[in-house]
Chain A
Amino acid sequence: MRTMLFRHAIREAMDEELEHDENVVIFGEEVAQYNGAYKVTEGLWNKWGDKRIFDTPISEAGFIGMGVGASMLGVRPVMELMFWSFHSVAFDQLVNNAANMRYMSGGLANCPIVLRGPANGGTGVGATHSHCPENIFASMPGLKVVTPSTPADAKGLLKAAIRDNDPVYFMENTLLYGIEGEVPPAEDGDFVIPLGVADIKREGTDLTLIAHGRCVHFALEAAEKLQAEKGINAEVLDLRSIRPLDQDAILKSIKKTNRCVIVDESKPFCGVSSQIITIIQEHAFDYLDAPIKRVCTLDAPATYSKYVEHDQLPNVARILDTVATIID
């Protein structure tokens, strides 16, 4: 199996989908001639030219609205938000338009768009640039929210997102762009991972760590430490998409391990974790041997200070401390 960088896996997915469907078009700020603010789209403009990939002004409401409008005619825009934090200046387009269009038209119109870009803290850029809005958008019926954690997942899920006929909001992480991982070679065939299928990243029997995005890596590291230091065999379940959600996988794992800690970079109040807990207590209450615990970003706006930012975000130490409260 070959390995590749996370950012290159995303690029390969877009490259393949540009080839696969002539209606796929990429646009956003700095995606073309600049080669991408994070080099995710590097080389695509050289290869595909101005028609298939182009730069937009810094006008999120304008270009996302344009993508929504074009998608109703069958164009399939894949738009980059330089930061998902910038969603707030295009909320009308992302929610009132993209999420509601099909509904308000009684099914006469639909919006096959993808919005992708990083949504994470941990880079010292302060509260305006560190939002993790997966919970906000997953709370909107009509939208789909995807949060890949590995290069392979990023590629397979993005290809599924681009082929999906509903609006898909694809949330990456700048701190994962440089990680390397195995990705099936292109010659092995179309590598598409369906949305709504969680993935067990580590099999275990004593406890389930549910995570998505970069938190999957914290959970995996914590699981190794738990095994080595306490002999606790933790399962790590990667949600991969928040909506659609693989409820069956969550419940199956809980029924096996009977204990759960959710690791979630969104905020605790009305976060992704809140919904997961609701589902577990409604459908697997009798299988629980301990209260469900969670490790979220600490409930304050994202700090700028590099001295405490690490502590505000989910991290291995906080996972271990939290696990210790429900299992010896």
Chain B
Amino acid sequence: MAVYACCALYRLLDWQYALTAQATKQLTMDTSITPTDYAAAPINAALSAEEKIEMYREMCRIRRFEQTALKYYNKGEMAGFLHLYIGQESVATGTISLCGENDHVITAYRCHGHALACGMEMNPSMAELFGKATGASKGKGGSMHLFAPEHNFWGGHGIVGGQTPLGLGLAFGVKYQGLKGCCLCYLGDGAINQGAFHESLNMASLMEIPVVYIIENNGYSMGTSQARSSAHDGPLAKRAEGYGMEWDTVNGEDVYEVRAKTYEAMERARNENKPTLLEIATYRYYGHSVADANAKKYRTPEEIEKYKTYHDPIRLWRRQLISEGVLSDETADAIDKEAKLEANAAGKFAVESPVPTVESLFEDVYWEVDNDTAAGNTGRHFFND
């Protein structure tokens, strides 16, 4: 069973609990955390320099993609919500870097990072945010509903906690089909009080489903802190004990720790059909969504700045790789610039893409209709007159 707060690397999460429990308390963050302890874990020791650099590139791509999206959102190019992942990039990048061909990923509405980390391209992703016909979902899903089944990425789901039984199902499907794999199912700390999540935990443990639930704990369920939303004793993941499930807490700013602990959970799922509940401490720099008018009111500007300055996952990984000698400042800058150019190009692609037609509203509703089968041609499916 996981051990709570057993090492210094848990201090980030520990600090968050202290913060949310006593929101007015003066910040006393230990900024000397050096993410090296988990570098020696076999799954990390096996990483090549190229693979490490690739994770840096992925994090830069996610951030640049979202910064570009925010620019266009603020110009009025997008409708609805834009839930930014900026600040949390190490979680999706680190965990999804462990996925193989029979591993699947599903998450909630803050999904851009996971989509890109799974291999989704920027152009259809960006165009989807714009609601353009060239979007991954042809403009029908939007920011909260990116999909890339060819990369084992199954959304992108808008209802808090609603993806948790679906993740159970993806993992069930892998097991049913006799494949050795698992499902990584992400949720926010605000989702842990949804009933569907608890039903899923119970069934996952009871039925031995190879699912890894990953709580990305960024401290706030929209504007409500954990202290005001969750009755808990210690980590949120500890609730797994009520379902006889393994759990662990993870310092999300340390890519090595993220990978080491997630790998352990994935192997437990793949080899023993045992689920795990992980809680990864992380932080979002922006509001719940861009429309979150109170993003700087339910937390202090100083808190946000502390994270940006001392706990930025991209900066920390970059520093780590430079200290290891696998990356130079020049190369790191070049990778970031490349990501920025790619994001800019995706923005241009989206701007210039055609809008959907009204006729296309009736496509992608029924498989049988779309595929012009006998079933799709029998009886009336739509009722517009």
Contacts and interface: CB of A to CB of B under 8 A. Distances in A.
A131 interface: no
A170 interface: no
Contacts of A73: 104, 170, 173-174, 177
B379 A107 contact: no
Contacts of A96: 157-159, 162
A104 B378 contact: no
A247 interface: yes
Interface string B277-307: 0000000000000000000000000000000
Given A62-B200, A245-B379, A69 B174 contact: no
Interface in B157-186: 157-159, 162, 164-174, 176-177, 183
Interface stretch (B18-26, B144-152, B332-340): B144-152
B365 A103 contact: yes
Contacts of A243: 379, 381
A141 B365 contact: yes
A241 B367 contact: no
Contacts of B383: 245, 275, 279
A103 B364 contact: yes
Interface stretch (B78-86, B135-143, B262-270): B135-143
B80 to A, nearest CB: 13
B169 A65 contact: yes
A69 B380 contact: no
Interface residues of A, number: 56
Interface in A166-216: 166, 194-197
A68 B166 contact: yes
A245 B381 CA distance: 7
Interface stretch (A51-59, A119-127, A302-310): A51-59
Contact of B173 (A56, A74, A102, A246): A74
B379 A93 contact: no
Interface string B103-145: 0101000000000000000000000000000011111110001
B366 A102 contact: yes
Contact of A104 (B104, B156, B207): B156
Interface residues of B, number: 60
A141 B361 CA distance: 11
Contact of B378 (A93, A109, A196): A196
A63 B147 contact: no
Nearest to B124: A106
A282 B385 contact: yes
Nearest to A67: B169
B199 A70 contact: no
A164 B374 CA distance: 10
Contact of B203 (A56, A165, A275): A56
Contacts of B199: 57, 59, 61-63, 65
A66 interface: yes
A109 B173 CA distance: 14
A107 B364 contact: yes
B273 to A, nearest CB: 13
Contacts of B370: 107
A71 interface: yes
A28 to B, nearest CB: 13
B199 to A, nearest CB: 3
Contact of A66 (B141, B172, B374, B385): B172
Contacts of A66: 165-166, 168-169, 172, 200, 203
B202 interface: yes
13 contacts: A61-B195, A62-B168, A65-B162, A66-B168, A69-B167, A69-B169, A72-B169, A97-B162, A102-B364, A104-B156, A106-B138, A106-B140, A109-B149
Given A75-B173, A106-B136, A164-B368, 16 more contacts: A62-B199, A65-B169, A66-B203, A71-B169, A75-B172, A102-B364, A103-B141, A104-B137, A105-B141, A105-B145, A108-B148, A165-B367, A196-B375, A244-B378, A244-B379, A244-B381
Smallest CB-CB A-B distances: 7 pairs? A196-B379, A69-B169, A65-B165, A244-B379, A62-B199, A106-B137, A73-B173
